[in-house]
Structure 1
Amino acid sequence: MSKLLKEFKEFAVRGNVIDLAVGVIIGGAFGKIVTSVVNDIIMPPIGMLLGNVNFTDLYISLEPERSMVDGKHISLAKAAEAGVPVIAYGQFVNVILNFLIVAFCIFILVKAINSLHRKKEEPAAEEEPATKECPFCLSEIPLKATRCGHCTSQLAEEQAR
């Protein structure tokens, strides 16, 4: 039993698990922010442009006679209270917008991370060689050498350049 607990402890404090936990917590908080942006900032002006429509109240009643009072549709909250079966497509539109915003933010984040990785992986520009090969002994010698340091051969002027 203690071996199992020891393995679990090693697993739980491993860096990747902690990073994942932090990511999930931050992701949850980010999801709440996006939900607020959609519900409180984006949808009200769109609803106003469409004739003062509240998207959270848009639904299709599966029992129309139970969702009407004095010839008008009741709100989604009242329909749910009354137990009227509905298709709440307005809330679905809000959820789709939430998803699209979160997906776009993740796309931008992944794209930025990938561009950072590409910059790190790019090979350094090749530099001019600092050495050359002696034609007599085939040893590496400095590029500007006029005499080989290994075999002491005199190098031609063209080779020295």
Structure 2
Amino acid sequence: MWNEFKKFALKGNVLDLAVAVVIGAAFGKIVSSLVNDIIMPLVGLLVGGINLQDLNFTRENMLGKDVVVNYGMFLQSVVDFFIIAFSIFLVVKLASRFKKKETVKVEVVEPAAPAPEVVLLTEIRDLLRSGKQGQSE
């Protein structure tokens, strides 16, 4: 069982996936910092200093306790998602430009010359056919 696990864990696909997860997590931190520290403050300046994360709806329930709905956090998450998705789109598009375009080579293979026996048999067949046609006329 240990050997089977080692074979599975050391396959190229599993290692590639592990590397992708680690790089993806690091990329996610970079994009989150970009959104939180650069883009959203600029958006806040453009819309008059509104911070989306602070937007909420507060209502007192029947027990006298406040119920807070943080819809600003939801809006912030939606904006984060679109920025992250767009960033990943740009990275994939950039990577696809650098990927070498693979050209498909098409080789035209000439059919091999028939063996001498086949040529002889073909000639015999053709002679027999011509002989039968000559007799029926």
Q: Does TM, scored on the shorter chain, surpass 0.5? A: yes
* Other-structure match for 2:119: none
1:97 alignment partner, one of 79, 84, 106: 79
* CA distance, structure 2, for counterparts of residue 52 and residue 115 of structure 1: 39
* CA distance, structure 1, for counterparts of residue 106 and residue 74 of structure 2: 53
Q: 1:84 to 1:13 in 2, by over 3 A?
A: farther
* CA distance, structure 1, for counterparts of residue 60 and residue 67 of structure 2: 7
Q: 1:88 to 1:16 in 2, by over 3 A?
A: same
Please report how far the alpha carbon of residue 114 of structure 1 lies from its aligned counterpart in structure 2 after TM superposition: 4.8
- The reply to whether residue 50 of structure 1 matches residue 37 of structure 2 is no
**Runs ≥4 residues deviating over 6 A:** none
1:25-44, aligned counterparts within 5 Å?
Answer: 25-44=22-41
* Other-structure match for 1:145: none
Give the structure with the higher percent helix.
Answer: 2
User: Is this contact kept in 2: 1:63–1:84, CA < 8 A?
Assistant: yes
Alignment RMSD, CA only?
3.2
Q: TM-score w.r.t. structure 2 length?
A: 0.62
Please report how far the alpha carbon of residue 12 of structure 1 lies from its aligned counterpart in structure 2 after TM superposition: 0.6
% identity of equivalent residues: 48
* CA distance, structure 1, for counterparts of residue 56 and residue 48 of structure 2: 16
1:107-146, aligned counterparts within 5 Å?
Answer: 107-114=89-96, 119-120=101-102, 122-123=103-104
Instruction: Name structure 2 gaps, 5 residues minimum.
Output: 108-112, 114-137
* Other-structure match for 2:3: 6
Q: 1:112 to 1:49 in 2, by over 3 A?
A: closer
